[in-house]
Each structure stands twice: as structure tokens, then as C-alpha cells.
């Protein structure tokens, strides 16, 4: 019996479908454009309109810049929900990725212009483009392999390397480009990278003929109807009361805060209404318990990214203004420090995965919930080095870059414990017919974490970096420990979802991999 199943029509390269490498380079250039522009965003907004060798910026305050940064990075991820729906119901993944790539090229092209309208329009187009491309290109990777193909996990690992390679190249190169030719040259380079991604994707269509095509849904009584779920809300008094209270709070937020928060609260109310009706609709207490645990795990996702995404916001500004970036007489561009995360991921991803697998083999605690809680704690300890940096700055007026390097190292280790693990956890606990929706909710939770990061970063202008960094350390460590304390009851509620994992031994498997029976 063979464990490798492949379609006869697929050409291969290095033991994988050629289409994998087409998607690899498409995603690599897309991530180059996204992370390159993300690294510039806050710095560009806070640069004075005159007197900077990199060219005119927008001259915003740090608080204003971090507020927009939070909204932008949140919407990029939240847009994955409608992006996935468009692919499922209208276009299919292949055409959705193509349309998203085209919109991204337009967005980055508009950002090259210096007008204020172009800045907002460009950001809006990037949000739409990423929303269409990001959730669907990953689905296409899975579609390259038939069920039972042992190469699937390794294929996703290769694809994940492409994501981080794009981030690494962008943050290493764009900082130098901006230092020499100005802000809009950096935005232009991000656009050129996306054009490369689009051309690569168009060229590679002949290797993607059998994947990502739109297939109209057949009439199926088990097919999910979100409209029917919302309709059932009006015959469910308890759930209706919960949603009504949240809706009233959303309207109150609209008038007391601003329209942006009001729309966000209404969106979250709509998602909450859907989730409570899904919970009620589940026909087994086992599924209900697992669904509840999954929702609780999303709280960890929000907390993690709310701290982690300081990298593109507050930590980026701190690097620019408070860090001694001189190395052997050369001042390292601020943007280049963003490459540390991607570089550490490429270096340590396999090692971290192997450590967890060995713990699993030895019968030690290695559940997804434990990994995620520990990931938050490790990431929180990374901010301890930013506390040391802030203390050094208060004493001497500058802080060493070594603190940043250590902070990014711990942040990366924490990310490797939570980010890929959370995606896997969703596939284990989510009811099959709601799996796509729960993946979208995961991305929305990630987006909310990004917004939290912006709000926390904004408060630094009032409380100072030392207070904010210290607060993040304390909060994340306590939060992670609380989840570890309730680990046993939470694991009981999963009803053994992860206890069926075993080690698959095969000539094609390198080392060992944990897979589901």
C-alpha cells in the first residue's frame, strides 16, 4: 500500500506538483509587497512634511499614525471573510486570487502618488486585494494534493517558507531603497514586486488547471444556509436577547466614539449572532463543547496579535527614534529590523516543530492549547527586553539594538507556538460544515488583534513606552498562565480531539510528523 497519491496529469519538481512553486512565488511577491509597505506605513505617516532626506511624509502624530495602522492591519485580515465567500459562491479560488493580485498592483501603484487621496485609495485597494488573495491561495495549495497524499504537510511547509522569504527580502531591501530614493520609491518597489507575482501567477496557469476552479454547489439539505441561521434567531429568545444587547451597545458606541468603531461593533455583533446560532444548531454536546473551546482559543489569538503587532507600530517608531542603529559606522535603516522575525522563522521553524513532536512522542504535554498559552508567555517575555531598552534610553538617551534582536527572537518563538498551531486546531475542532467559516473567524480574530495593537500603541503617547512595554509583559504572562491553569478542563471539553494523533512512519517522511488517524 502506498501513502503517496498524486494526480496523473501533474508535472512535478523536487517531488511536488509544479503548481506548488507557482503559488510559492506568487505568495512570496505578494508578501514582499505587503510587508514592505507595512514596514513603511507608520514611519511615513509620522515623518514631517519638510526637512527629511527621505522626502515629505504626512506629518501625523504617533497617536494618529498608530490609530490608522490598527484599522488598516485589522481590515486586511477581516476582508478574508468576504474574500472567501466570493470565491466559494461566485468566482472560485483561482479567479479570486487573480483578481486580488490585479487589485493589489493597482493599490500599490496608486500609493506611489503623493496626493492624500492616493494614500487612502491605495490602502483601500490593498485591503480588497489581500482579502481576495490571501485566504484563497492557501486553499489552492491544499487542492494540489489528493486526500491521503503524505506530501501535503511538506507542501504547506514549503509554501510557508515563501511567505517568510517575501517578508525577509522586503524588509531587508525596502529600507535601503527608502534611505536612498525616498518613501514613494519604497511604495513603488512594493508595487513592482506585486507585478512580478501577478506575472508569475498568469504564467503558471497551465500548472493550475485542476485546482481552484469554481464548482457550483449542488442542492444539499446539509448545505450551510447562514440566512436560515439568522432567521432562527427570532425564535430563540435567549440568543435574541444576547444579540439585542450587543446591538444596542454597538449603536451606543457609534454615537459616543466614532462611526468607525460603530461599524466594527455592528460587524462583530453580526458575527456573534451567527456563532451563537451555530452553537445552538449543533446536534451533539461533544460538538458544542469543542465549538466553545475553539471560541475561547480565539481569545488567545486576539491577545497574542494585539501584543505581537507592536512590531509594525510602536516598536517600529521606537527603533526609529530611540535606538542606536549604528553598526561599524553604518546606520541600519529602521525598516530592516522588521526582517528579524522572518529570518528567525526560517531558521527555527523546523526546530520548534521537532521539539514539540519529540515531547508528544515522550508522552509529555504537547496539546494545541498548551502550545498556544506558552506561545503567549514566551512572546510576552520578549517585551521584557523592550523594558530593558526603555530603561536604558531613559538613563542615556539611547538604547542598544541588541534588545530589539532579543525581543524579535522571543516574539518569533512565540509565533511558532501559536500561529500554525491555531490553524491546525481549527481543523480538529470545528464542525466540518462550518470549517470554512471558522477559518474566516480566525482571520477576523487576527485582525482584531491588530486593532488592539494599534490602540495599545496609541496609549504610549500618554503613558510612555516603558509603561506600555511593562504592561504587555505582565498582562501576557498572567493571561498565558491562566489558560495553563484551566488546561485540564478545557482539554476535557475537546473530547479527545487530539488523542488520535500518531506518528506516521514512511520512507518519504523526513524525521517524524504528527498526523490524524
CB burial readout 122-155, b (16+ within 10 A) else e: bbebbbbbbbbbbbbbbbbbebbbeeebbbbebb
Per the DSSP assignment, residues forming a β-bridge with 324 are 400
Residues 308, 453 contacting (CB under 8 angstroms): yes
Rounded Cα distance between 114 and 58, Å, is 10
Per residue of the chain (517 residues), give pLDDT as tens. 334 444 444 676 666 788 888 998 999 999 998 888 888 888 888 887 555 656 666 788 888 888 888 888 888 888 887 887 788 778 888 898 999 999 999 998 898 887 888 889 999 999 999 988 887 887 787 778 776 565 665 676 677 778 888 888 888 888 788 878 888 888 889 889 999 999 999 998 888 888 878 666 554 555 556 677 788 888 888 888 888 888 888 888 788 877 778 888 888 888 888 888 888 888 888 889 988 999 999 999 999 999 998 887 788 888 888 899 888 888 888 878 888 888 898 888 878 878 887 888 788 888 889 999 999 999 999 999 999 999 999 998 889 999 999 999 999 999 988 887 777 777 678 776 776 677 778 888 888 888 888 888 888 878 888 999 999 999 999 999 999 999 999 988 888 877 654 444 433 333 333 333 2
Residue labelled with grid coordinates 501576557 = 476
Query: Strand 514-516 and strand 501-503: pairing?
Result: antiparallel
Rounded Cα distance between 247 and 450, Å, is 23
What is the DSSP code string of 212-248?
A: S---PPPP-TTS--HHHHHHHGGG-HHHHHHHHHHHH
Rounded Cα distance between 137 and 87, Å, is 11
CA atoms within 13 A on the CB side of 433: 13
Q: Quote the pLDDT of residue 437.
A: 72
* Cβ-proximal residues to 356 (8 Å cutoff; 6+ apart), any chain: 366, 371, 417
User: C-alpha distances in angstroms, 274 versus 262, 431, 449?
Assistant: 19, 14, 20
Q: Quote the pLDDT of residue 260.
A: 77
User: C-alpha distances in angstroms, 409 versus 50, 305, 347, 348, 437?
Assistant: 36, 16, 11, 10, 33
Residues 453, 306 contacting (CB under 8 angstroms): yes
Q: Classify residue 248 as exposed, middle or buried by CB count within 10 Å of its CB (0-12, 13-18, 19+).
A: exposed
Q: Quote the pLDDT of residue 392.
A: 94
Q: Quote the pLDDT of residue 5.
A: 41
Domains of the chain: residue spans and CATH: 12-214 (1.20.1250.20), 227-278 (no CATH), 282-502 (1.20.1250.20)
* Cβ-proximal residues to 266 (8 Å cutoff; 6+ apart), any chain: 247, 250, 251, 254
Rounded Cα distance between 490 and 472, Å, is 25
Rounded Cα distance between 314 and 411, Å, is 15
Rounded Cα distance between 220 and 162, Å, is 38
Reported as type and span, the H/E element at residue 322 is helix 314-322
Q: Is the pTM of this model over 0.85?
A: no
Amino acid at each position: 500500500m502506498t501513502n503517496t497519491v498524486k494526480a496523473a496529469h501533474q508535472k512535478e519538481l523536487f517531488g511536488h506538483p509544479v503548481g506548488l512553486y507557482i503559488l510559492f512565488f506568487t505568495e512570496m511577491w505578494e508578501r514582499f509587497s505587503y510587508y514592505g509597505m507595512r514596514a513603511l506605513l507608520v514611519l511615513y505617516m509620522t515623518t514631517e512634511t519638510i526637512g527629511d532626506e527621505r522626502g515629505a511624509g504626512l506629518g501625523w502624530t504617533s497617536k494618529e499614525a498608530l490609530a490608522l495602522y490598527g484599522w488598516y492591519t485589522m481590515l486586511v485580515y477581516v476582508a478574508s471573510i468576504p474574500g472567501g465567500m466570493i470565491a466559494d459562491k461566485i468566482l472560485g479560488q483561482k479567479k479570486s486570487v487573480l483578481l486580488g493580485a490585479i487589485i493589489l498592483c493597482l493599490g500599490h501603484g496608486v500609493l506611489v502618488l503623493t496626493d492624500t487621496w492616493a494614500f487612502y485609495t491605495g490602502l483601500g485597494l490593498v485591503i480588497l486585494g489581500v482579502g481576495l488573495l490571501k485566504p484563497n491561495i492557501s486553499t489552492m495549495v491544499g487542492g494540489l494534493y489528493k486526500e491521503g497524499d503524505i506530501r501535503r504537510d511538506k507542501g504547506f511547509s514549503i509554501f510557508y517558507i515563501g511567505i517568510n522569504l517575501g517578508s525577509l527580502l522586503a524588509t531587508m531591501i525596502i529600507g535601503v531603497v527608502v534611505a536612498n530614493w525616498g518613501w514613494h520609491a519604497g511604495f513603488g518597489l512594493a508595487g513592482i514586486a506585486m507585478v512580478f507575482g501577478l506575472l508569475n501567477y498568469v504564467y503558471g496557469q497551465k500548472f493550475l488547471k485542476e485546482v481552484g476552479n469554481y464548482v457550483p454547489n449542488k442542492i444539499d439539505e446539509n448545505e450551510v444556509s447562514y440566512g436560515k441561521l439568522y432567521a432562527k434567531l427570532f425564535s430563540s429568545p435567549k440568543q435574541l436577547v444576547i444579540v439585542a444587547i450587543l446591538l444596542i451597545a454597538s449603536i451606543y458606541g457609534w454615537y459616543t466614539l466614532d462611526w468607525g468603531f460603530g461599524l466594527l461593533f455592528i460587524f462583530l455583533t453580526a458575527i456573534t449572532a451567527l456563532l451563537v446560532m451555530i452553537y445552538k444548531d449543533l446536534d451533539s454536546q461533544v460538538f458544542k463543547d469543542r465549538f466553545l473551546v475553539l471560541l475561547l482559543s480565539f481569545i488567545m489569538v486576539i491577545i497574542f496579535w494585539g501584543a505581537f503587532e507592536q512590531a509594525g507600530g510602536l516598536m517600529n517608531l521606537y527603533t526609529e527614534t530611540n535606538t542606536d542603529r549604528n553598526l561599524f559606522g553604518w546606520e541600519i535603516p529602521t525598516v530592516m529590523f522588521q526582517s528579524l522575525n522572518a529570518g528567525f522563522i526560517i531558521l527555527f521553524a523546523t526546530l520548534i516543530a521537532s521539539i514539540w513532536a519529540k515531547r508528544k512522542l515522550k508522552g509529555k504535554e504537547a496539546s494545541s492549547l498548551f502550545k498556544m498559552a506558552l506561545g503567549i508567555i514566551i512572546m510576552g517575555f520578549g517585551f521584557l527586553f523592550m523594558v530593558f531598552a526603555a530603561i536604558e534610553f531613559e538613563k542615556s538617551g539611547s538604547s542598544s539594538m541588541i534588545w530589539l534582536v532579543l525581543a524579535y527572537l522571543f516574539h518569533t518563538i512565540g509565533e511558532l507556538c501559536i500561529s500554525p498551531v491555531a490553524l491546525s486546531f481549527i481543523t480538529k475542532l470545528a464542525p466540518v460544515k462550518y470549517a470554512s467559516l471558522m477559518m474566516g473567524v480566525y482571520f477576523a480574530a487576527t485582525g482584531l488583534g491588530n486593532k488592539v495593537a494599534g490602540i495599545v500603541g496609541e496609549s504610549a503617547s500618554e503613558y510612555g513606552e516603558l509603561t506600555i512595554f511593562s504592561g504587555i509583559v505582565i498582562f501576557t504572562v498572567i493571561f498565558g498562565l491562566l489558560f495553563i491553569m484551566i488546561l485540564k478542563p478545557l482539554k476535557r471539553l475537546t473530547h479527545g480531539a487530539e488523542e488520535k494523533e500518531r506518528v506516521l512512519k514512511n520512507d518519504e517522511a523526513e524525521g517524524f510528523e504528527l498526523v490524524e488517524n
